[in-house]
């Protein structure tokens, strides 16, 4: 079938105009026009630097380490209230998340519905492994609770988080969040590295009384805000090689590291390092992040 003469002429005109236009779009340099002067921009994928998080600050612990370990306090610390009963007391002797507890305090001590508290129990008196002096009492975080309702001299709280079993007679302490610190790890000290010259102290207490400790163990050190420590700091752990009158020796319930006498020079044996999680006035909780041999209570630490 033949196209009408007018339609055939229009198609011929479109082909005549369209062909050079398409050629100019594909090869603008052939047209001698303005497009030939515009440089072509090419992005090479291999030239783009890879994005990584390795150099970014990393969390130095977990909630179980900062909110389920404990703190060093006075021998007889005063608390807001004591747990004297529980909804499930006829079926349970210890309590956990979502259980209801009854207190010996209410509106008479300023409690209000919605108040949050730490649940704590007193632990051991911490005796410094080298000096022998009493450093205070260690208090274990057992969990957290929120006040549901308040009466004149009593209140009901719900356990919102239990770190472990919560016994009758536990205490309530005003809640203050403990953030998980961030930090950037650097290479640990090795043989022949010089001291940093910064604050020095000792490991004085371990979680659950473990005396031979390694990576990921929670400990207490005898340095704090007064010595310039902050959450996120790293401390080097070291000891001096065992000699006839110094080194690891039994003392009380622990084997402790006794340093050489003044004037005796012994190279350091580097054991690893720890990260500070929370800080008190003269003590701090920490997590051992690296250990290249067994670490003992009494081993020395130095701020990096």
Q: Which CATH number applies to 196-303?
A: 2.40.10
The model's pLDDT over 175-197, given as tens digits with 9 standing for 90+, comes to 999 999 999 988 999 999 999 99
Q: Label residues 152-175 b or e (16+ Cβ within 10 Å = b).
A: eebbbbebebbbeebebebbbbee
DSSP label at residue 61? S
Q: Which residues, at least 6 apart from 173, have a Cβ–Cβ distance to it below 8 Å?
A: 79, 80, 117, 118, 119, 120, 139
- The number of C-alpha atoms within 13 Å of 15 and in the hemisphere containing its C-beta is 6
pLDDT tier at 53, thresholds 50, 70, 90: low
Q: Residues 94-102: what's their mean pLDDT?
A: 97
- Separation of alpha carbons 297 and 250, rounded Å: 11
CA dist., res. 242 & res. 267, Å (int) = 11
Question: Is a pLDDT exceeding 70 seen at residue 55?
Answer: no
Which of 48-57, 76-85, 115-124 bottoms out in mean pLDDT, i.e. has the lowest?
A: 48-57
Q: How confident is the model at residue 61 (pLDDT cuts 50, 70, 90)?
A: confident
Question: Cα–chain-centroid distance for residue 210?
Answer: 21
State residue 16's pLDDT score.
47
pLDDT of res. 15:
44
pLDDT, residue 39, reads 56
The predicted pLDDT at position 41 comes to 54
Average pLDDT value for the chain: 83
Predicted TM-score of the model (pTM): 0.73
pLDDT in tens, 247-295: 666 666 666 666 667 777 778 899 999 999 999 999 999 999 999 989 9
The closest of 252, 254, 199 to 225, measured between CA atoms, is 199
What digits encode the pLDDT tens for the residues 198-251?
Answer: 999 999 999 877 777 899 999 999 999 999 999 999 999 998 776 555 666 666
Are the C-beta atoms of residues 276 and 182 closer than 8 Å to each other?
Answer: no
Q: Where are the domains of the chain?
A: 63-174, 196-303
The CATH number given to 63-174 is 2.40.10.410
Same fold across 63-174 and 196-303: yes
- The span from the CA of 40 to the CA of 29, in Å, is 12
Residues 6+ apart with CB under 8 A from 75: 125, 134, 136, 137
Sequence-distant (≥ 6) Cβ neighbours of residue 167 within 8 angstroms: 93, 94, 95, 121
| 237 within 8 A of 275, measured Cβ to Cβ | no
* pLDDT tens for each residue of 142-180: 999 999 999 999 999 999 999 999 999 999 999 999 999
Tens-place pLDDT, residues 112-149: 999 999 999 999 999 998 888 999 999 999 999 999 99
Span 8-46, pLDDT tens digits: 444 444 444 444 444 445 554 444 445 445 555 555 545
Considering all CA atoms of the chain, what is the largest pairwise distance in Å, rounded to the nearest integer? Answer: 118
Q: 258, 261, 233: which is closest to 247 by C-alpha? A: 258
Q: What is the pLDDT of residue 56?
A: 81
DSSP codes, 34-72: GGGGSPPP---GGGSPPP-STTS-EE-S-HHHHSSSEEE
- Spatial contact of 203 and 295, defined as CB atoms under 8 Å apart: yes
What's residue 31's pLDDT?
Answer: 47
């Amino acid at each position: 079938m033949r196209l009408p003469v007018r339609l055939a002429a229009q198609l011929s005109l479109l082909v005549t105009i369209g062909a050079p236009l398409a050629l100019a779009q594909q090869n603008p340099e052939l047209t001698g026009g303005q497009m030939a002067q515009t440089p072509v921009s090419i992005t090479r994928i291999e030239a783009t630097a890879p994005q990584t998080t390795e150099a970014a600050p990393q969390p130095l612990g977990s909630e179980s380490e900062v909110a389920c370990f404990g703190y060093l306090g006075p021998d007889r610390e005063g608390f807001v209230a004591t747990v004297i009963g529980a909804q499930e007391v006829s079926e349970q002797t210890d309590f956990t998340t979502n259980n209801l507890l009854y207190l010996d305090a209410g509106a008479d001590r300023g409690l209000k519905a919605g108040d949050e508290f730490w649940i704590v129990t007193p632990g051991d008196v911490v005796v410094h492994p080298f000096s022998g002096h009493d450093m205070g009492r260690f208090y274990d975080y057992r969990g957290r609770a929120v006040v549901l309702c308040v009466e004149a001299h009593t209140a009901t709280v719900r356990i919102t988080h239990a770190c472990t079993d919560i016994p009758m007679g536990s205490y309530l302490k005003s809640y203050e969040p403990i953030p998980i610190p961030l930090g950037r790890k650097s290479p640990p000290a090795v043989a022949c590295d010089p001291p940093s010259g910064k604050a020095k102290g000792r490991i004085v207490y371990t979680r659950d009384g473990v005396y031979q400790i390694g990576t990921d163990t929670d400990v207490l050190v005898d340095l704090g805000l007064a010595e310039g420590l902050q959450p996120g700091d790293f401390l080097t752990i070291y000891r001096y090689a065992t000699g006839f009158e110094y080194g690891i020796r039994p003392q009380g319930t622990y084997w402790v590291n006794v340093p050489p006498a003044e004037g005796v020079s012994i190279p350091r044996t580097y054991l690893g390092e720890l990260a500070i999680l929370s800080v008190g006035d003269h003590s701090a909780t920490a997590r051992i992040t690296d250990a290249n041999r067994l670490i003992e209570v009494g081993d020395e630490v130095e701020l990096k």
